[in-house]
Amino acid sequence: MVNNGRKARRRMAQWRGQFTWLTHQTKLEDAEAVLRRAVVAFRGAPPADVAAKAKAVRHLAERVLNLRLKLLKAGRAAHPPVDNSSPYAEELLAPERAVLSAGLAGILSEFGAADVME
């Protein structure tokens, strides 16, 4: 608070990206849409371009995986601190562990591109 003989006012922190509507959820949705388009392009690619398209699809799948983990971690951080040995902590960590266990292969199979890993 600032009080120089005038009415006290609060200062709010400003951050880059404020009011841009970019959230973990919207970034993930955008990345998933791009991955869907990349899989379609991979399927329709001529044999000479298949390796380059596969690399791009793998890269986009890694991005989707990382964004899903960030979204889950942000959701977990929104909760008050929890003792790691409690059942509630296990409930909070379960979705993150499921995404990690499926890994890149799980993302690729979800988007119909499991053969890109070969």
* pLDDT for res 51: 94
DSSP letters for 20-78: S---HHHHHHHHHHHHHHHHHHHHT--GGGHHHHHHHHHHHHHHHHHHHHHHHHHHHHT
For residues 26, 36, 45 and 43, what is the CA-based torsion angle, rounded to 10 degrees? Answer: 170
Q: What is the pLDDT along the chain (118 residues), one digit of tens a residue?
A: 455 555 555 555 555 666 667 788 899 999 999 999 999 999 999 999 999 999 999 999 999 999 999 999 988 888 777 777 778 888 888 999 999 999 999 999 999 999 998 6
Q: What is the pTM (predicted TM-score) of this model?
A: 0.78
